[in-house]
Chain A
Amino acid sequence: MALVTPGFRGRRRGSSERLPPGQYLVEDFPVLSAGPTPDVRLEEWRFTIRSETGSDHSWSWAGLLALPAETPVVDIHCVTKWSKLDTRWSGVSIDTLMAEVETGAEFALVQCYGGYTTNLPLADLLDGRAWIVYRYDGTDLPAEHGGPARLLVPHLYFWKSAKWVRGIQLLPKDEPGFWESLGYHDYGDPWREQRYAGD
């Protein structure tokens, strides 16, 4: 039984079975990042998957856009407590990219322009659960939301959906990313409220 704060009633707006514990609904799309928004030129943009043996698979911007696109409509959940339902994206499934990659690795370290990283089990990037997305709500992905392209892994807290993504390093062992080294949870399942290390 949680402790009651006398006089607090709350607004109870937007309750939903699609809302994980401790989250509240927003209609806008807040921005959170640890440093300046990087300028990424499309002519220089590359996305590279490096396997645990060091072999690279790499796509240019045109190469990414030439791959079959999917249009996921998903709920997203930020560790800072906001959730947003039915967000609409366009991009390429990680399954499509990984089809070309030979690996026995179990973990992935996602790398970004600007230096941000985040880690997750490779299994969480597969089976139609993760994408490299380049459009949001019918327009090119704005830079402050991770454009030109970001990772989208909506079943985990949104810090795992790394902005300005440039590659995935496949690893035999788990290696913590940026926030995972600074007190946030290694896995980050919103339905188990895994916000901080030890949750």
Chain B
Amino acid sequence: MYKTAMIIDDNYTDRYIGEIRLKKHPFAVDVILKDSATSALEYLTLHANEPHALPEVIFLDINMPEVNGFEFLEAFSFLPELVHQTCSIIMLSSSISSEDHQRAHDNKFVRSFVSKPLNKEKLNNILVS
């Protein structure tokens, strides 16, 4: 089990489902919910030097207004080394595009690609890997 996880998703229902899943599983003690990539980046920048405040796992949605998942990943690469070392990113999307899958795979910060909705099996797989 992780200490802290973060969910970045513009959709309220999906954040709600994610929070319940992570807490019930249990997957993480604390779950930080962010409704946009920008607010998530703000948080990560703010706590860039506090390893205990940084989420160990970030569930990242792809299709979001303003800054989407891939743009978040680009901005993420400019964050301090400590953030990269602490946070592993899991793409959580309802996308069935093979291009999106490939693009996620090719990014060095992305640990895996998980299709929505989150369930026990998928969370187990993440914990095992």
A and B associate in one complex? no
